[in-house]
Amino acid sequence: MSIVTIATPFNIDLELNIAHFGKRFLAWLIDTAIQFFYYIAYNFVVEDHLPDSSDFRTLMAILFVLLPVMLYHFLMEIFFSGQSIGKKIVGIRVVNFTGNEASISQYLIRLLFRSFGVIPLVVFFLFQIMGGDAGSQSMLIGLVFLIFLAMIGMFLFYILSKYGQRLGDRLANTLVIENKAKADIHKTIYLDITEEGYVVRYPEVMRLTDRDINGIRNLLDVQRITADSELYASRISARIEEVLQIQNTSDPYDFLAQLLRDYNYLTSK
C-alpha cells in the first residue's frame, strides 16, 4: 500500500495510507448499484405515469435521471466530507495534499475528469432516453468506443501514478486515503458548548490561527488511523505545548480534544 507523508502546521510529518485499487473499485461498484437502482425506481415511480409526449419524457429523464447521476459523486463528496455512500462503506475518503478536506473547486475538477465512473452510466441512460432512433444509437456506439479508449488511458495513468491518483485526482491535487477513524472529528470541532459554567483550561489556544486549529483537527483525525497513533499523539501534544508555552498533564487525546473545545467556546462568545 502506498504511503504519502504530510508536513503538518506543527512540523510533524504524518503518514497517510493511500486507498488501494480494490477498495476504490468496490466503492465504485456500490455507488454504481445505487445509481442503477435509482434509475429503476424512477422508471417504476415516475416514467410509467408520464404523458406520452416524447419531448416531455426526455426532459424529465434529463432532469431527474441524467443530472443526478452526473452530479452524484460531486454532491456526495461536498456534503459528506469527501465520501460517497460507497466510499463510506469501504472506509476511504477524498482529501487534499495537506490532509484537509478538499475544496468545492477540487471536487468539481474530479467530477469533470470522472470518465471511468460517470460517463459509461451517462451513455447507458442516453441509450434509454433516445430510444430506438438508429442514427442516434449509431452515434452513441461511436461515443462508447471513444470512451472505452479514454478509460484504458486513464486506467494506465492510475496504475502508473505514485500515489494511486487518477487524472482527476492529479489535476485537482487530491488523494483517496484509508479512513478508519473511530469517530468523526468534525463533531468535536464544531461542538456546541452549552453547559453552564464551562471553564476554559487553555485560553492560550486563541493565539493559534484558523489554519492551526484545522491542522489540529486533521492531526487528530489522521493519527487515529495509523499504527503508531500513541506516539503521534504524544509528539503532537509536545509540539503544541511548546508553541503555546503551556503544560499538559492529561492524556494526549484528551489534551487535543480539550483544545478544540476551548477554541469552540471562546470563538462562540
Q: pLDDT tens across 159-174, in order?
A: 888 888 888 899 999 9
DSSP tag of 18: B
Burial class of residue 242, CB neighbours in 10 A (0-12, 13-18, 19+): exposed
Cα separations (Å) of 60 from 54, 123, 203, 233? 10, 17, 56, 53
Nearest to 185 by CA among 229, 223, 226: 223
Convert the pLDDT of each residue in 136-163 to its tens digit.
666 666 766 766 776 777 778 888 888 8
* Residue 259 vs residues 106, 214, 215, 253: alpha-carbon distances, Å: 30, 12, 12, 10
Q: Stretch 61-67: mean pLDDT, rounded?
A: 83
pLDDT digits (tens, 9 = 90+) for 92-132: 999 888 777 889 999 999 988 875 555 555 666 666 655 55
Q: Of 174, 213, 250, 227, nearest to 8 (Cα)?
A: 213
Q: What is the pLDDT of residue 144?
A: 67
Q: Which residue has the cell 486563541?
A: 206
As a whole number of Å, the CA-based R_g of the chain is: 23
